[in-house]
Amino acid sequence: MLAHGVTKSLQPVSALCIKRMTNGIQYESGVFGSYSLMDLMPKTLEGQITMEKTPSYFVTREAPARISAMSRETKLIVVVRDPVTRAISDYTQTLSKKPDIPSFESLTFKNRTTGLIDTSWSAIQIGIYAKHLDNWLQYFPMDQILFVSGERLISDPAGELGRVQDFLGLKRIITDKHFYFNQTKGFPCLKKAEGSSKPHCLGKTKGRTHPNINPEVVQRLRDFYRPFNMKFYQMTGHNFGWD
């Protein structure tokens, strides 16, 4: 979005504080003192948009009330992907940091014999999008929330970013022309990085190879998520095509 020249990111230190503030709107620490979310936001001039990115907000129970208290006009953008793939991606990320964790299959079930899924495992819990959205809708109307399809972000990045630009009231200046498909990476990349003439792909931690998961376990997870996905499609008025 920096291509627009009207967007502004938080400074790293502020972003760090805000990230940690998910545990308390009045984040307190001996070093930083006590801040409200607004105090940490950089000043925004007319024509600028301040953006803050913290994936865990969507699943943090206290976040909607706190963000609404800061500004009820805040626009919210959430990237969602098939919750089964999301759970495997989440596991892959943890595995890359802690190679000794138990298998995906054993973490998925509370009881493998009965097929009871462990919904307290965060990799599973996060994908119950309808439940998290319910919490946000207590504070924000649906038209202030944009759900971006993680799948379409890969198959048609310009189209999906078109929706983001429309939602933010920006001119559609990011188009197909900005992207190319990088065969080595297996993902779309930018033809030119910001402030450079060189192509730019996302880093090694984005687009990792996932481990093979037992197809029966994948099927059980598909069955588990189906009703929640249906509810989510109904709430958002958008079929994400995960079933």
Q: Write down the least CB distance from residue 55 to ligand PPS, Å.
A: 4
CB atoms within 10 A of CB 3: 15
Q: Closer to ligand PPS at the Cβ: 13 or 202?
A: 202
Q: What's the rounded Cα separation, in Å, for the pair 189 and 195?
A: 15
Sign of the CA dihedral running 217, 220, 224, 225 = positive
Q: Closer to ligand PPS at the Cβ: 83 or 188?
A: 188
CB atoms within 10 A of CB 193: 12
Q: Write down the least CB distance from residue 167 to ligand PPS, Å.
A: 18
Q: Write down the least CB distance from residue 89 to ligand PPS, Å.
A: 3
Q: Write down the least CB distance from residue 59 to ligand PPS, Å.
A: 12
Question: Cα-flanking dihedrals φ and ψ of residue 201, to 5°?
Answer: -105, 160
Q: Write down the least CB distance from residue 100 to ligand PPS, Å.
A: 20
Closest of 66, 36, 47 to residue 7, by C-alpha: 47
Q: What's the rounded Cα separation, in Å, for the pair 241 and 151?
A: 9
The CA distances from residue 224 to 5, 205, 232, 241, in Å, are 43, 28, 14, 16
Q: Closer to ligand PPS at the Cβ: 35 or 157?
A: 157
Q: Closer to ligand PPS at the Cβ: 68 or 182?
A: 182
Q: Closer to ligand PPS at the Cβ: 27 or 91?
A: 91
**In the complex, which residue's CB is closest to ligand PPS?**
89
User: Which residues in this chain contact ligand PPS in the complex, by CB under 6 A?
Assistant: 55, 89, 92, 153-154, 187-188, 202, 206-208
Q: Closer to ligand PPS at the Cβ: 92 or 125?
A: 92
Q: Extract the tokens encoding 239.
A: 């079929």
b/e per residue 55-71 (b: at least 16 CB within 10 A): eebbbbeebbebbbebe
Q: Write down the least CB distance from residue 146 to ligand PPS, Å.
A: 16
